[in-house]
Amino acid sequence: MRMKQTLCRGMMGLILVSLAGVAAAENQHYPVNKAPMVQTHFISLPLGAVKPAGWLKDQLTIQANGLTGHLDEFWESVSNSAWKGGSGDSWERGPYYLDGLVPLAYLLDDERLLGKVKTWIEPILASGRPDGWFGPAQNQDRWPLAVALKVLTQYYEASQDERAMTIIQNYIDYLNETPPNWPDREWRGVRAMENMATAYWLYRRTGDEDALKAAETIYTSCFDWTHHFNYFPFDDEWTRRPAGYGHPCHVVNLGMAVKYPGLIYELSGEERHRLGSYSAIQNLDKYHGQAAGRYSGDEHLSGRHPSQGTELCGVVEFMFSLENLVEIFGDSLFADRLEVVAYNAKPGTCTPDYWAHQYDQQSNQVLCTVDKRQWSTNGDFSNLYGLEPNYGCCTANMHQGWPKFVSHMWMATQDNGLAAVAYGPCAVTAIVGGGRQVEIVEETDYPFDGTIRLTVNTESPVSFPLHIRIPAWAEGASIQVGARIESPQQTGEFVVIYRNWAPGDQAIIELPMNLRTETRFNDAASILRGPLYFSLKIGEYFKPLRRYHDSLPVVDYAVFPTTHWNYALQIDREHPERDVKVMTTEISETPFSHDDAPVVLKVKGRMLPKWTMKNNSADAPPQSPVVSEQPLTDLKLIPYGSTRLRITEFPVLAE
């Protein structure tokens, strides 16, 4: 665990003090782990405690006006779902959809969406059987019930509807009263520990030890993800000569499973479990890491080549795992990664209006068509933008990304304070200190700008600690409270401010958005600013292929480049600011659109005529450094999330 720092209010103002070795108390206001469990570092707040604002609220509103808010009106998989009393799909798609719809409806306080939620929730709440099973009678598989449990926990937090608690309690009892049924060859087996998170949630609120009994039975009877990550088999040799694909290398299973060793650690306290989630990310990055914070998986792990894809389900599940890991370990490493995935990979695989998405996204993505590509196991439609490219699981599951991210931007702390886990415009309302409710309004254009203003709204002064994350990349960060400005000595940590906060007090955080580079495949370079990756702005032509609705803009698109993409950059890797000019504009309602990007990088490069296509994708970047006799050309780079076509890993010109 990394050493923390604290800013204490003293006679001389704000001073830095180490917190290493200081034992944490237990939060008095929110459900926490009880013995014999290991205490988590932070505590997730109930759904609705954090509300989006500014451009981030615009994103959720766009989502509500796009597929999330209308999918159940026309898409057969959810419009006639057995989960809401229909005769259609009774497996995972209904719960997947609800896992995003429920938090979105409550975060926006949207009456139309809340009405939709009711049409789903009421049949689910009425479906409980005497033995504890619930859901559509047609379904006999435990896997979709694990997703439905996540839906019900969020619904209960927002509504306090005791019927949801009853369904959850009865199903945990069912798991205890029936034999373990978690085979490695089935989805319910490799994803069984999704149920553990719900069992913990229940135990924190009821103290019912049967919930821990169920959790222990699950992790001792299902696939051993901890061993898998600590002794990772899918290295470079496997990528070159795959011995067969299966559940242990499936991108969505992995996205979920990254959190599993951490979940087990809460019950076991064993070092191998604590290390397991760190090993997972380290090994996935080493052998399959991609720009934008993701790892390859199209449908299965496929190496570091920047034209390999990543399934959208894998992205949103990875985000949720990172949110869990921040709560468990309190490590800024997981929060840093969460922001990168949320602000790059998440928007980069959807259209700005949220009416279309990809199944697979690529770091170097120069053509989106129905063609054969180098996917491990996916089909020819996988990188189209549309309703249901390749397969419909992402159409149902993608909706949880933004809402759950917002819900986890702030967390409660064991010392009865609050932690700013991920930055963006929002407001949090929570109980702190000795039991007082406060609101903290976060005003910022982050991640496009590094200034973050936190305003504490309270009826009268209240003492509580405020944990402020300093990202690992934020060298030279500063925090100002009143007239006093302090610069934390280290990055990649949470700094804690203990203070008696008066109404209207502010903490102003400055995170320098210095440019930096990252060395990637074939020594290519990616350029970052803050948590954002930047990609070549390629002209984009969207060609409609299929329309699904007479009045709603539900269309499958192929995307073709209208400008060249095969450039090498003129850039000093160690000092990119010497070659890159940063241009900023006011943020629009759609900052992740091709023409409204609020940050543009101007660089120079030369074309590489021999860098061409292979398998209908950009071939591997030529080994850097490279030489070209083509003229030096002005280029524009925009945030990864603002592109549908892109080059993100660039060859670098020889000096």
Alpha-carbon distance of 474 to 24, in angstroms, equals: 27
Q: What percent of the chain has pLDDT over 90?
A: 94
**Domain annotation covers residue 106:** yes
The two structure tokens encoding residue 559: 């995307």
Q: Looking at 4-8, 14-18, 536-540, 597-601, which range is the least confident one?
A: 14-18
Query: Is the torsion defined by CA of 17, 502, 466, 207 positive or negative?
Result: positive
Q: Clarify whether residues 134 and 65 are in a common domain.
A: yes
Region 133-148 average pLDDT: 97
pLDDT tens digits, residue range 62-96? Answer: 999 999 999 999 999 999 999 999 999 999 999 99
Assign 486 to helix, strand or coil. Answer: strand
**Domain annotation covers residue 372:** no
| 640 has pLDDT over 50 | yes
Among candidate residues 494, 510, 526, the one where a domain is terminated: 510
Q: Looking at 17-31, 156-170, 180-194, 592-606, which range is the least confident one?
A: 17-31
Q: Clarify whether residues 153 and 73 are in a common domain.
A: yes
**Domain annotation covers residue 578:** no
Q: Clarify whether residues 98 and 194 are in a common domain.
A: yes
Q: Clarify whether residues 11 and 154 are in a common domain.
A: no
Q: Clarify whether residues 9 and 81 are in a common domain.
A: no
Among candidate residues 173, 207, 223, the one where a domain is terminated: 223
**Domain annotation covers residue 423:** yes
pLDDT tens digits, residue range 429-482? Answer: 999 999 999 999 999 999 999 999 999 999 999 999 999 999 999 999 999 999
Q: Clarify whether residues 74 and 9 are in a common domain.
A: no
Q: Clarify whether residues 90 and 16 are in a common domain.
A: no
| 181 has pLDDT over 60 | yes
Q: Are 489 and 444 in contact (CB under 8 A)?
A: no
**Domain annotation covers residue 177:** yes
pLDDT tens digits, residue range 206-240? Answer: 999 999 999 999 999 999 999 999 999 998 776 66
**Domain annotation covers residue 130:** yes
Residue type at position 640: Y
**Domain annotation covers residue 126:** yes
Q: Clarify whether residues 54 and 162 are in a common domain.
A: yes
Among candidate residues 493, 510, 527, the one where a domain is terminated: 510
| 279 has pLDDT over 60 | yes
Interhelix angle for 209-219 vs 162-177, to 10°? 50
Q: Clarify whether residues 18 and 74 are in a common domain.
A: no
**Domain annotation covers residue 592:** no
The answer for residues whose C-beta is within 8 angstroms of residue 383's C-beta and 6 or more apart is 309, 358, 359, 360, 361, 362, 365, 368, 369, 373, 389
| 13 has pLDDT over 50 | no
pTM (predicted TM-score): 0.96
Q: Clarify whether residues 72 and 217 are in a common domain.
A: yes
| 569 has pLDDT over 60 | yes
Q: Which domain holds residue 87?
A: 50-223
Total number of domains constituting the chain: 2
Per-residue pLDDT at 241 = 63
The answer for residues whose C-beta is within 8 angstroms of residue 115's C-beta and 6 or more apart is none
Per-residue pLDDT at 244 = 75
| 174 has pLDDT over 50 | yes
Q: Clarify whether residues 198 and 134 are in a common domain.
A: yes
Q: Clarify whether residues 499 and 425 are in a common domain.
A: yes
Q: Are 365 and 645 in contact (CB under 8 A)?
A: yes
Alpha-carbon distance of 73 to 327, in angstroms, equals: 36
| 14 has pLDDT over 90 | no
